[in-house]
Amino acid sequence: MSAVAGRYAKALFALAKEAGTLPSTADELARVAAQASQPSVAAVLGNPLLPASRRAEIAQLLVRELALSDLLTRFVGLLADHQRLQILPAIHAYVQRLLDQELGRVRVSIRSAAGLQAQQEGDLVAAFTTLTGKQVIPQVSVDPELLGGVVVEVEGKVYDGSVRTQLDRLAKELAGTAGV
């Protein structure tokens, strides 16, 4: 995440917090970032040869289509003026993190080799709620490459309980033994 995106995100977060519209602003920002993340749109926004007038038109189109609030309208216009529309997804991620911190919650990525049962997911959420002391928002995904078990990532830390990792570790140990 770039420092530039961080500066824009902090500014937007502070203004939304002052206005008392943090959740709605975050939702609107998520919708704008989703549009900007689309490959065709991202390619246009990332084109350095795009004229400023054309960028402004795209910004106005986004604002109209998504019926953004006044704060987001001005924010998107500012990004268009500064030719920073392509960093909207990064700004969204940063704002999301700030919002989670503000609300005392943490997003946990849970990758499982097979679909988790509701009980298992609940147990995992409870375990990481206890571990982090924050409200856990699980983002569950299935990854067959893990072969078995789960991998949980929270606040930059990885808790790995997958068969794949155990096999890789075993392979490294055997290879290390071969070098002796």
Partner 1 sequence: MKHGFSRTRAALQAPAPVTRAPVAFVSRAFAFVTPGFVTLAVVTLASVTLASEAAEEHHATGIPWLTLLFNIINLGGFLWILGRFVLPSVRSWVRERRDQVIHDLEAAAAAKADAERLRAEWQARLAHLNETIEELRAQARRDAEQERERILAAARAAAEAIRRDAERTAAYQVRQTQQLLRAELVRQALQMVEQDVRAKWTAADQDRFVGDFLKQVQR
Contact residues for partner 1, defined by CB under 8 A: 112-114, 116-117, 120, 123-124, 127-128, 130-131, 147-150, 152, 159, 161-163, 167, 170-171, 174-175, 177-179
What does the DSSP 8-state code read for residue 148?
Answer: S
Distances (CA, A) of 89 to 26, 100, 116, 130: 12, 16, 29, 30
Least distance in angstroms from the C-beta of 111 to partner 1: 12
Least distance in angstroms from the C-beta of 124 to partner 1: 7
Burial (CB < 10 A; 0-12, 13-18, 19+), residue 178, is exposed
Q: Which is nearer to partner 1, 8 or 128 (CB)?
A: 128
Q: Which is nearer to partner 1, 25 or 162 (CB)?
A: 162
Q: Which is nearer to partner 1, 93 or 159 (CB)?
A: 159
Q: Which is nearer to partner 1, 77 or 149 (CB)?
A: 149
Q: How far apart are CA 138 and CA 105, in angstroms?
A: 11
Residue with tokens 């005392």: 104
Least distance in angstroms from the C-beta of 94 to partner 1: 28
Q: How far apart are CA 123 and CA 116, in angstroms?
A: 11
Least distance in angstroms from the C-beta of 144 to partner 1: 8
